[in-house]
């Protein structure tokens, strides 16, 4: 197994398993930056470059070795996180069932790495529930390594977007007034981000529909909490819940409370 390495150099890393809410948080942070420093809205999702230009701590967003295109089995994931010593790390989490549904739709509709039913996906060593759980177990054992560590759940962002952003921004090294936070929250409503994706409002490919005629291929898909039952059978939900109960950690067991 290769030792873990940093994906790029930054001061602060926002890390997440795929489809845990990273793009939404990136948009919220990016909106506060373009408004405060008067940058072009088209650059809103390029947070690392914006922070570099602004002279604030450089922020990078990454999947920390769990990206679907890598197709790494959960057993082969590097477990050391010593490379984050001296850095600040914000870890994003999401209900495991919702996360797997969203990851399945990305794998089938956007990335093109899967073409089998979702029941096989949630059991697969490269994409399924054990991959999600191992990702968070690694960070549960490594949270002491960074100079500072914060854990934020997607569900918290939904329940209180402004309050969550007000906690996150100081951790990232960004100081803004409450009005700027409210403006970012309003701009980054899911209906507006969905329109922005259709209009290709931002530079780069981070927020571009794979197939404009397929709603499930959009990066901003539904933005709902707890809609996994629309896609997962009771047997698949039970399989995931059992895995979370047996092999989860503090970052994933909250899924069982809902």
pLDDT higher than 60, residue 214: no
Whether residue 169 lies inside any domain: the answer is: yes
The CATH number for 163's domain is 3.40.50.300
Whether residue 100 lies inside any domain: the answer is: yes
**Spatial distance between the Cα atoms of 19 and 63, rounded to a whole number of angstroms:** 9
Q: What is the pLDDT of residues 82-125, one digit of tens each?
A: 999 999 999 999 999 999 999 999 999 888 899 999 999 999 99
- Domain limits at 138? 12-257
- The CA distances from residue 69 to 56, 59, 63, 203, in Å, are 31, 23, 11, 22
The confidence band for 211, taking pLDDT boundaries of 50, 70 and 90, is very low
- pLDDT value, residue 8: 85
Whether residue 7 lies inside any domain: the answer is: no
Query: What mean pLDDT, rounded, does the chain reach?
Result: 89
Query: What's the domain count of the chain?
Result: 1
Asked whether the whole model's pTM tops 0.75, one would answer yes
- pLDDT value, residue 217: 43
Whether residue 146 lies inside any domain: the answer is: yes
End-to-end CA distance of the chain: 36
Whether residue 238 lies inside any domain: the answer is: yes
Whether residue 103 lies inside any domain: the answer is: yes
Whether residue 5 lies inside any domain: the answer is: no
Among 51-65, 202-216, 221-235, top mean pLDDT goes to 51-65
Percent of the chain with pLDDT over 70: 87
- pLDDT value, residue 199: 63
pLDDT higher than 90, residue 150: yes
Whether residue 2 lies inside any domain: the answer is: no
- Mean pLDDT value of segment 48-74: 95
pLDDT higher than 90, residue 258: no
- pLDDT value, residue 171: 97
């Amino acid at each position: 197994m290769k030792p873990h390495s940093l994906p790029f150099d930054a001061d602060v890393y926002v890390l997440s398993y795929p489809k845990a809410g990273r793009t939404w948080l990136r948009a919220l942070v990016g909106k506060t930056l373009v408004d405060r420093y008067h940058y072009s809205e088209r650059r809103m999702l390029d947070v690392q470059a914006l922070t570099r230009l602004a002279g604030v701590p450089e922020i990078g967003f990454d999947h920390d070795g769990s990206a679907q295109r890598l197709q790494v089995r959960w057993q082969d994931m590097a477990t050391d996180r010593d490379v984050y010593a001296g850095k600040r790390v914000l870890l994003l989490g999401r209900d495991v069932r919702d996360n797997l549904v969203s990851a399945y739709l990305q794998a089938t509709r956007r990335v093109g790495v899967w073409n089998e039913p979702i029941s096989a996906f949630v059991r697969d060593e490269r994409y399924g529930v054990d991959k999600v759980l191992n990702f968070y177990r690694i960070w549960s054992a490594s949270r002491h390594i960074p100079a500072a560590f914060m854990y934020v759940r997607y569900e918290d962002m939904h329940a209180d977007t402004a309050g969550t952003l007000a906690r996150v921004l100081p951790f990232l090294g960004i100081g803004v007034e409450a009005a700027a936070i409210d403006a970012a929250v309003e701009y980054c409503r899911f209906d507006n981000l969905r329109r922005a994706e259709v209009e290709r409002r931002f530079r780069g490919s981070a927020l571009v529909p794979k197939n404009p005629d397929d709603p499930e291929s959009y990066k901003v898909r539904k933005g709902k909490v707890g809609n996994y039952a629309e896609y997962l059978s009771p047997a698949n939900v039970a399989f995931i819940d059992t895995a979370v109960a047996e092999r989860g950690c503090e970052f994933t067991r909250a899924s069982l409370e809902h």
